């Protein structure tokens, strides 16, 4: 989770028939990814198990709220040995801290850019973070269900969350970067009322 894009575009035009709703994250159409410097390159990864809700009404950012829970054990960097190490006390310590959670505190919109503020709990440590927010929009799917899309990007310092493991290189410097780029692409829907 390291350096990532900036700039967010905000859709504030209300979609006919879409009002304030609680949307459930559709994990089949969403992704939670990260990126970190490794030696002279970068390594990307993702979490495959997560859930959450978004309260969203087009054009009313003061009412927007988001909450999510990620299963830290679902980390996947396409390398089983590395994923196993990332679950140990050197990194996420998933036996002690199995969940990564986020709860928004506010959304700030200025000059067509939106910032999502919230509290992130990772490695059993809670810190405030700010993400650049892009609204993909809201619409009805072909079956008449309300859907909404969101993307968020940002960076955090893993040391702020007590994840400090590293190795010194013979040539100087460290093997891993401290800054983690975060990239979230979320599609969410409202379940039909029974």
pLDDT tens by residue, 18-35: 456 899 999 999 999 999
Structure tokens at 173: 């410097």
pLDDT band at 143 (very low <50, low <70, confident <90, very high): confident
Strands 50-56 and 31-38: unpaired
Could you give the C-alpha distances from 153 to 2, 58, 73, 116, 135, in angstroms and in order?
10, 20, 22, 10, 12
Contact 68, 74 (CB under 8 A): no
Assign domain 21-189 to its CATH superfamily.
Lipid/polyisoprenoid-binding, YceI-like (2.40.128.110)
Distance CA 127, CA 193 (A): 36
Of residues 58 and 13, which shows the higher confidence score? Answer: 58
Residue 125 predicted with pLDDT over 70: yes
3-state secondary structure of 83: helix
Q: Model-level pTM?
A: 0.85
The predicted-structure confidence for 99-120, as pLDDT tens digits, reads as follows 999 999 999 998 878 999 999 9
Mean pLDDT estimate for the chain: 87
Query: Phi, psi (5° rounding) for residue 81?
Result: -65, -45
pLDDT band at 156 (very low <50, low <70, confident <90, very high): very high
Residue 54 neighbours by CB distance under 10 Å: 20
Q: How far is CA 88 from the centre of its chain?
A: 21
The predicted-structure confidence for 177-190, as pLDDT tens digits, reads as follows 999 999 999 999 98
């Amino acid at each position: 989770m390291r350096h990532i894009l900036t700039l967010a575009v905000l859709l504030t035009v209300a979609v006919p028939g879409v009002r304030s709703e609680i949307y459930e994250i559709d994990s089949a159409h969403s992704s939670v990814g990260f990126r970190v410097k490794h030696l002279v390159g970068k390594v990307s990864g993702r979490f495959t198990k997560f859930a959450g809700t978004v309260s969203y009404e087009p054009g009313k950012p003061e009412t927007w709220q988001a909450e999510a829970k990620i299963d830290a054990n679902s980390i996947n960097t396409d390398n089983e040995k590395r994923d196993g190490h990332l679950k140990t006390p050197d990194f996420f310590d998933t036996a002690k801290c199995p969940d990564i959670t986020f709860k928004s505190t506010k959304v700030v919109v200025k000059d067509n850019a939106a910032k999502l503020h919230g509290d992130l709990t990772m490695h059993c440590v809670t810190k405030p973070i700010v993400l650049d927010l892009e609204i993909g929009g809201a619409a009805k799917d072909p079956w008449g269900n309300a859907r909404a899309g969101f993307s968020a990007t940002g960076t955090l310092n893993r040391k702020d969350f007590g994840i400090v493991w590293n190795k010194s290189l013979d040539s100087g410097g460290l093997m891993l970067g401290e800054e983690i780029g975060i990239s979230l692409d979320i599609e969410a829907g409202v379940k039909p009322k029974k």
